[in-house]
Amino acid sequence: MTEHVDVVLSERGLPVHLWWRERGYDVIAEPLRWFARRRWWAEDARAERGRAGLVSQEVWRIQIQDPCTAERSTVDLGRSVPAERWRLLRIHASPQETEAVE
């Protein structure tokens, strides 16, 4: 499962707000970032010349909250740096309780 999402970044480059399925969510905890191997052979027919990020993908785990319902979720996002595209990669079953981002 992957879906396109829009992400608003802070001045430090951290996700602070997420738009998904025409709804806005606040990022309520310090995001985690790492790089993971992509299954490029299953996603792309072939590599485009000069294309960066073919093998590894930037992944962010964020805890979000719906400002209307206060419902919390933890999600993983994939970021395509050259194109500045964000994809929802995974929704975790139960969010972890963490402190709010200042």
pLDDT band at 101 (very low <50, low <70, confident <90, very high): very low
Task: Give pLDDT, residue 98.
Answer: 45
**Radius of gyration, alpha carbons of the chain:** 14
Take residue 63 and report the two structure tokens written for it. Answer: 């805890």
Confidence of residue 45 (pLDDT cuts 50, 70, 90): low
**pLDDT higher than 90, residue 62:** yes
